[in-house]
Amino acid sequence: MKTKAVRIYGKNDLRLEEFELPPIRGNEILAKVVCDSICMSSYKAAKQGIGHKRIPDDIGRNPTMIGHEFSGEIVEVGEKWRDSFMPGMKFSIQPAINYPDGPVGILSAPGYSYRFIGGDATYIIIPDEVMEQNCLLQYTGHGFYPAALAEPLSCVIGAMHACYHTSPGSYIHQMEIINGGKMAILAGVGPMGLAAINYVIHRKDRKPKLLVVTDIDQSRLNRAARLYSTKEAAENGIELRYVNTGNLDNPVKALLEITGGTGYNDVFVFAPVSQVVEQGDAILAFDGCLNFFAGPGDPNFRAKFNFYNVHYNFTHIVGTSGGNNNDMEEAIDIMSGGLDPAGLITHIGGLDAVIPTTLNLPDIPGGKKLIYTHIRMPLTALDDFSKKGKKSPFFRQLSEITRKHNGLWSIEAEEYLINNAEPV
């Protein structure tokens, strides 16, 4: 079967190509990709080429497919897996498979390391190790985009689970955020921050009593407040506050005052900015945990940390990158149960939009850029549907659908797009 895919050949060298996939072997699965959410990690991989830890050294000769936040449906199943999977099954993939015998060892991942599997493609071959590591996950919910966004949600879930605390006199780490505690999400209204807010508000088993979300962009704060309102949070037992720290003379003092001077039990840093990291350190409570979530592109990234507080106030830091299988399964379960991640999505595009979007991702405002791989369509902001609809019946209908859904992407919009957009 032929596929069309975006492959990486080196630094800033991405190519959209059509080529023949080899026949699947008895331990492989042929699948159709429906949509892929472009991640900042793909931008970093494109910029670093073989300097990226998940990219093989020989991509100049054997290019790999990019895109790791994707969903689709199974087309054909090799004999080994016919008792576990079947054609027509919708799926999502946990890309951090950590398979020791993969192309680049333990860091191997679909979307970086493999020639025939990546989210920015029409058809892919899922290799044996993905199933062996239980990383091919069934999705039983409506549509496809929620499953594509399960991977970024799993990263947030993993970050929450990775926080830890101690009790005075005990050196046993108690994993998880403090239930009923005080939480801050700094630089928290980008795509991943929005996912975190959504998860925190709707989580059933554990949540903070106070959640403070900061940023320096008021328009993004306003959008976050519309999507995840203080009223909705209150209905779920959380006092939610959005704070523009760019307008404050002393952000640390102001943030501490919100807590009554106690500080925050759990602080998440969603931007690789030294000032934000240091701000997070300064607002930690006794035994507070700072989770440095944002992955820096600079291997020499540094920030100051108060080690007096580490020693006497038991403050500590943890970093997480991605989620594990349990996190992904939790994300899939939440999505299948109806949690809608549509608020993360601000742009829609076709397979032809992947390369310019990936290479320019930091300069494109908004949240998640969602790619539908079987259509041709320039990357388009949801907010621009109405303007484009003045000349295009296609965009006019998309505009009407998104307006009906409070300006958000939806299963209805997805179905219309798939059935009416120009094929790739």
Place 320 in a pLDDT band, splitting at 50, 70 and 90. confident
Residue ranges of domains in the chain: 1-149+341-424, 162-319
- In this structure, what token pair is assigned to residue 117? 């599997």
| pLDDT per residue as tens digits for the range 403-424 | 999 899 999 999 999 999 999 9
Residues in the chain: 424
Q: Report which of residues 116 and 299 the model is more confident about.
A: 116
Let me know if 5 is exposed, middle or buried by CB neighbors in 10 A (0-12, 13-18, 19+).
Answer: buried
* 259-284: average pLDDT: 97
Q: What is the pLDDT of residue 86?
A: 97
Give, as one character, the DSSP assignment of residue 96.
-
CB distance 334 to 168 below 8 Å? no
Give percent of the chain above pLDDT 90: 85
Q: What is the pLDDT of residue 22?
A: 97
Average predicted confidence (pLDDT) for the chain:
94
| Cα distances (angstroms) measured from residue 189 to each of 34, 216, 242, 368, 395 | 27, 10, 9, 12, 27
Sole residue written with tokens 């044996």 = 128
Give percent of the chain above pLDDT 70: 98
Q: What is the pLDDT of residue 99?
A: 66
Place 283 in a pLDDT band, splitting at 50, 70 and 90. very high
| Cα distances (angstroms) measured from residue 42 to each of 45, 99, 111, 362, 374 | 5, 20, 8, 11, 20
- In this structure, what token pair is assigned to residue 277? 């990291």
CATH, domain range 162-319: 3.40.50.720
DSSP secondary structure string for all residues of 180-234: T-EEEEET--SHHHHHHHHHHHH-SS---SEEEEEES-HHHHHHHHHHS-HHHHH
d(CA 392, CA 379): 15
Single pTM value for the model: 0.85
* 275-289: average pLDDT: 98
CB distance 318 to 162 below 8 Å? yes
Place 104 in a pLDDT band, splitting at 50, 70 and 90. low
* 328-347: average pLDDT: 89
pLDDT above 70 for 253: yes
CATH, domain range 1-149+341-424: 3.90.180.10
Q: What is the pLDDT of residue 273?
A: 95
